Amino acid sequence: MNNPGNSLYSEIEWIGKNGFDFIDITTELPGVDIEKINVGKVKSLLKKYKLGVVGHTAWYHAFRDPQRLVREAATKVLKKEIQFLGRVGSKNANVHLMPLYRFFSVKDGIKFYSDVLKEASKFARKLGMVMMVEHIAGSRSQFDLLQGLFKKVPDLKFHLDVGHANLETKGNKTKEFLRKFSKKLEHIHMSDNDGTDDQHLPLGAGNINWKGIVNLLKKYKYDGTITLEIFSKKSHLINSKNKFKKLWKSVR
Ligand SMILES: [Zn+2]
């Protein structure tokens, strides 16, 4: 994934030169300003390095806001991001399921997010794309929210984040997420942490059992894209890539 603190062009160059198959483009400021970005330049860099694209929209939009007008404004921005991602070759785009504000129930959350996601999915479908929903932490309400959203927005896909499944929980919840939503699974994020915070550490630097995770993914015959969402030194990212490839090959 491009580091949103840097220019997208230089991030594509680095990712392309270092042997990755695709880039997970996050349309986050300050690195990616969709009002100003040069789509042609992005496309030609992706072509130069033969990189595929996975779509990641800005996590900070106010989709959980109780005010309808605020959610509508956020949806407008989201559509622009989806359009940009489609133009540079992505077939999907995610939305993050943030914790709800106090005094609001899971039912309220399903209403807020499904309003946004129904509209976004319709828009994405016209561009030949699908929307995915990424869970943020492993708490019980996230399962209920996801379940409700998949019911209300049938073509919505699931975006698993193994690092997030390690938060607010005893033990990693990847197994539970897969048991409930494996049929909807579209894309996966991986990074390590010690369970206290979303630290985006290299694989092996936190307490996640990566061999166990790979075993699970093989059990479900997952054959899709995986992003290493690691925001420390670039050399750590390369080490994690090599380590993961080795692990993937070693597990049958
Ligand atoms: Zn993620």
CA–CA gap between residue 6 and residue 154 (Å, rounded):
36
In this structure, what token pair is assigned to residue 220?
A: 């479900």
Q: What is the pLDDT of residue 138?
A: 66
Distance 152 CA to ligand 1 centre (A): 23
Q: Which residues pair with 185 in a beta bridge?
A: 158
User: Has residue 24 been placed in a domain?
Assistant: yes
In sign, the C-alpha dihedral spanning 105, 141, 158, 24 is: positive
Domain count, the chain: 1
Distance 228 CA to ligand 1 centre (A): 9
Distance 26 CA to ligand 1 centre (A): 10
Distance 252 CA to ligand 1 centre (A): 26
Predicted confidence (pLDDT) per residue in 119-170, tens digit? 999 999 999 999 999 999 867 789 999 999 999 999 999 999 999 999 988 8
Distance 199 CA to ligand 1 centre (A): 11
User: Has residue 1 been placed in a domain?
Assistant: no
Contact 225, 188 (CB under 8 A): yes
Distance 163 CA to ligand 1 centre (A): 8
Strands, sheet with 185-190, edge to edge from the N-terminal-most edge strand: 22-26, 52-56, 92-97, 130-135, 157-161, 185-190, 225-228
User: Has residue 3 been placed in a domain?
Assistant: no
User: Has residue 2 been placed in a domain?
Assistant: no
Q: What are phi and psi of 122, to 5 degrees?
A: -65, -45
Q: What is the pLDDT of residue 141?
A: 86
User: Has residue 110 been placed in a domain?
Assistant: yes
Distance 124 CA to ligand 1 centre (A): 20
Distance 154 CA to ligand 1 centre (A): 22
The list of the chain residues with pLDDT below 70 reads 138
Distance 50 CA to ligand 1 centre (A): 23
Q: What is the pLDDT of residue 228?
A: 97
Distance 161 CA to ligand 1 centre (A): 5
Domain with residue 128: its CATH number is 3.20.20.150
Distance 189 CA to ligand 1 centre (A): 5
| Radius of gyration of the chain, Cα coordinates, nearest whole angstrom | 17
66 preceded by a cis bond (ω within 30 of 0) = no
This prediction has a pTM of 0.95
**Structural domain range at position 96:** 8-250
Q: What is the pLDDT of residue 132?
A: 98
User: Has residue 158 been placed in a domain?
Assistant: yes
